[in-house]
Amino acid sequence: MEDLPILKQVFSLCLWLQTNTKLRTLMIMDGKNDVTSIEVYAGEKPIIDFKLEAFSKKSEERINIELKLIVTQ
List, for residues 40-58, the tens digit of each pLDDT value.
Answer: 999 999 999 989 888 788 8
Q: E-strand spans in the chain? A: 23-30, 35-42, 45-53
Question: Closest Cα to residue 71, out of 28, 11, 2, 29?
Answer: 11
> Confidence band (pLDDT; 50, 70, 90) for 1?
very low
Out of 3.30.720, 1.10.287, 3.90.660, 1.10.20, the CATH code matching 5-72 is 3.30.720
Rounded Cα distance, 31 and 56, in Å: 9
Domain edges within the chain:
5-72
Cα distance between residue 46 and residue 63, in whole Å: 23
Distance between the two ends of the chain, CA-based, in angstroms?
Answer: 24
Residue 64: is its pLDDT beyond 90? no
* pLDDT tens figures, 16-26: 999 999 999 99
Region 50-72 average pLDDT = 85
